[in-house]
Structure 1
Amino acid sequence: MQTPAPPYYAVIFTSQRTAVDDGYGDTAERMVALAAQQPGYLGVQSARGADGLGITVSYWRSLEDIAAWRKHAEHTDARNDGRARWYSHYETRITKVERAYAWDAASGQAPAEASRPD
């Protein structure tokens, strides 16, 4: 996934799953698809370990876009289901990305548009 040049915002959602599935996978897929349709959405990355600990980072153009997504009715319903069934704990952090850079093994070089000195 490639994000635009900074600045932009990242919403970091760290969660601990319960053993209950009960539609979690379908809802998670629906939330990713729905978020992608929202104004200001830039992308998402997600990983979950065998122990149930997961981290999802979504990227957004503005704080207003993030606030609108949080208020979306289906997202609100999914959040409520998460609290009731799917998560034993979660934490959300919002941060402004001011610098970003990458390295690619195939080329051995950082992409020119993302290269910044440390």
Structure 2
Amino acid sequence: MIANTPNPPYYAVIFTSIRTETQEDYIETAKRMVELAQLQKGYLGHESAREGLGITVSYWTNLEAIKQWKMESEHQIAQEKGKSLWYAAYKTRICLVERDYGFSSDFDIM
């Protein structure tokens, strides 16, 4: 689904990853991270896709909200498991969204 974001400016955190073959607890943890992120002050939504390379983009009101999400205790545990088990490589980019536009027909928007 496409995240229903407000008018800019807002921030995007782009997380790209290449997975290892280890699946242990990954799906459950990923679902839990979405649940936790949705509870965070400043969270606006997210979009995710995976076919070889995984890309998740989460949207936030400001840099402080992103910092608080990074420091959330369960998220920190998941980050460590990502480094030690689930990811062969990853990259995080934080961007200011200054402009957005789009089109929607009968497509689901979160």
Q: Fold match, TM over 0.5? A: yes
State the SS of the aligned residue for 1:81: helix
State the SS of the aligned residue for 1:78: helix
What residue ranges of structure 1 are gaps of 5+ in the alignment? 107-118
Give the TM-score, by structure 2 length: 0.92
CA RMSD of aligned residues (A): 0.8
**Matches for 1:55-66 after TM superposition, within 5 Å:** 55-66=55-66
What residue ranges of structure 2 are gaps of 5+ in the alignment? none
Higher relative contact order (CA 8 A, sep 6+): 2
Identity level (%): 54
State the SS of the aligned residue for 1:36: helix
For 1:26, the equivalent position in structure 2 comes to 28
Q: Which amino acid in the other structure matches residue 40 of structure 1?
A: G
Q: Which amino acid in the other structure matches residue 59 of structure 2?
A: Y
Count of residue pairs brought into register by the alignment: 104
For 2:100, the equivalent position in structure 1 comes to 100
Q: Deviations over 1:5-46 (max 9, x none)?
A: 000000000000001100100000000110000000000100
**Matches for 1:1-118 after TM superposition, within 5 Å:** 1-49=3-51, 51=52, 53-106=53-106
Structure 1 runs (4+) deviating above 2 angstroms are none
